[in-house]
Amino acid sequence: MDRFTRATEIDGKQFATGLLERIKAEVEAVKAETGVVPGLAVVLVGEDPASAVYVASKHRQTVAAGMKSFEHRLPAETTQAELLALVNRLNLNPEVHGILVQLPLPAHLDPNAVIQAINPDKDVDGFHVSNVGHLATGNPALVPCTPLGCMMLLKDTLGENLAGMHAVVVGKSNIVGKPMAQMLMNAHCTVTVVHSQTRNTAELCRAADILVVAAGRAGLVRGDWIKTGAVVIDVGINRIKVDGKSRIVGDVVYGEAGHARAITPVPGGVGPMTIACLLANTLTAFRRHHTLAIAA
């Protein structure tokens, strides 16, 4: 009988709870050392319900970690000039070490212009071209929160040394797929990226020691796409109807992945890591600003 008959469930919620506890302890330590606490500014434009819930959760967890939370809620009719002026004020505010502008923005605003206006040293979303370039060249960078969380879960499951493993990333978005692939390459994995135009996706996935799926398509990856003993990170969050009831599912058919070594569930896998990694990035930005050693 094969060794992997039931995949280990990677508990992202538990890992995130532990990470937040470590961040809180580190915030207390840097406060004692510098007399200052990290500050995170979050900007919400408009009344998108999902974004409002997410911003409120960020505020609660920022405060719980002992950081300062600067919340800016702007009306949907806010102009590009007004939003850029706020970003500039936050760039210049010494109490703010991290800036996040919640996406999506109302249609009349240019998100790329807003992202590029953020001081890259405060860009805790990791979307500024300066941080993207540093990541691509293997230099220290603030990296997007979701791929950062995925890497933490992978190393917790497989150990720190991922060198030589074949990683396949399904999806090539700027938010997850591309930075995830780059982080895996920086960890000395051999990386394949597949996407909607790839002709032999299933065959490539079957070769993966590490399979990261971020396609945004419910049930895309079936069990026969997964190699026995692979570690599967399912980034997908999809709302579907089953028997008239709404359910959240991933991009992987979880029930068919028992032969994997380990897999993240949806919900409860990658999702809880996002805000925890946002606060980790804020702490990293603070440490760099104050020329403190970056915690491992």
CA separation for the pair 131, 124 (Å, rounded): 10
Give ∠ CA 154-167-280 in degrees, rounded to 5. Answer: 35
The residue whose two tokens read 């597949």 is 194
CA separation for the pair 164, 169 (Å, rounded): 15
Residue 224: active-site member: no
DSSP letter at 120 equals: G
Which residues have CB under 8 Å from 161's CB, separation 6+?
none
Question: Out of 58, 122, 178, 227, which one is annotated catalytic?
Answer: 58
Question: Out of 102, 122, 178, 234, which one is annotated catalytic?
Answer: 102
Residue 125: active-site member: yes
Question: For residue 18, which amino acid is it?
Answer: G
Question: Out of 125, 209, 234, 251, which one is annotated catalytic?
Answer: 125
CA separation for the pair 160, 19 (Å, rounded): 16
CA distances from 251 to 15, 19, 128, 180, 283 (A): 21, 25, 27, 16, 31
Question: Could you give the 3-state DSSP secondary structure of residue 99?
Answer: strand
- Cα 97 to its chain centre, rounded Å, is 18
Residue 13: active-site member: no
- Write out the catalytic residue numbers: 58, 102, 125
